[in-house]
């Protein structure tokens, strides 16, 4: 079972991202799974901690990733969920961990390795889509 869960929420060509305070990298929101916690329960808890005013609709598992990231060499162990709907204020709950949340285009920003992996598969560059 994956060690963490990530949320992918998109609307009007933008995705929901949070910025880590420690290094300024942007990522899809989520976090580590606790013992005896399902991937979906982990994600709902993490979103409640990080973005307490965000309301999520149905969550569907897109993919479980347990491999090495070819760009960074880091091991990925994530359950990636797609939200059918996300609404509410992007108020930060855990200010020690993240310092900003925003709906933004998924390109042209510094992302964590796992978030780059997710972005490249779900939101490929236009040139890649034509192939």
Cβ within 8 Å of residue 8, ≥6 positions away: 15, 16, 28, 62, 80, 81, 82, 83, 118, 122
What would the pLDDT profile of 58-114 be if each residue is shown by its tens digit? 999 999 888 777 767 777 788 999 998 999 999 999 899 999 999 999 899 999 988
Write out the two tokens for 19. 């910025």
Report whether 2 contacts 39 (CB < 8 A): yes
Residue 34: DSSP 8-state = P
What would the pLDDT profile of 5-64 be if each residue is shown by its tens digit? 999 999 888 999 999 999 999 999 999 999 999 999 999 999 999 999 999 999 999 998
Helix, strand and coil content of the chain, in percent to the nearest 5, comes to: 20, 40, 40
Sign of CA dihedral 99, 105, 110, 111: positive
Quote the pLDDT of residue 109: 93
Max CA separation in the chain (angstroms): 43
The alpha carbon of 114 is separated from its chain's Cα centroid by a whole number of angstroms, namely 9
Report whether 98 contacts 18 (CB < 8 A): yes
Structural domains in the chain, sorted by start: 4-130 (3.90.79.10)
């Amino acid at each position: 079972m994956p060690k963490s869960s990530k949320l992918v929420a998109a609307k009007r060509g933008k995705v929901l991202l949070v910025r880590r305070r420690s290094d300024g990298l942007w990522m899809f929101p989520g976090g580590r799974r606790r013992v005896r916690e399902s991937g979906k329960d982990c994600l709902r808890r993490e979103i409640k901690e990080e973005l307490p005013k965000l309301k999520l609709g149905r969550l569907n598992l897109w993919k479980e990733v347990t491999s090495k990231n070819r760009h960074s060499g880091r091991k990925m162990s994530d359950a990636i969920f797609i939200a059918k709907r996300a609404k509410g204020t992007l108020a930060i709950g855990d200010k020690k961990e993240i310092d900003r949340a925003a709906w933004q285009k998924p390109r042209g920003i510094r992302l964590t390795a796992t978030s780059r992996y997710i972005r490249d598969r779900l939101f490929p560059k236009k040139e890649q889509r034509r192939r």
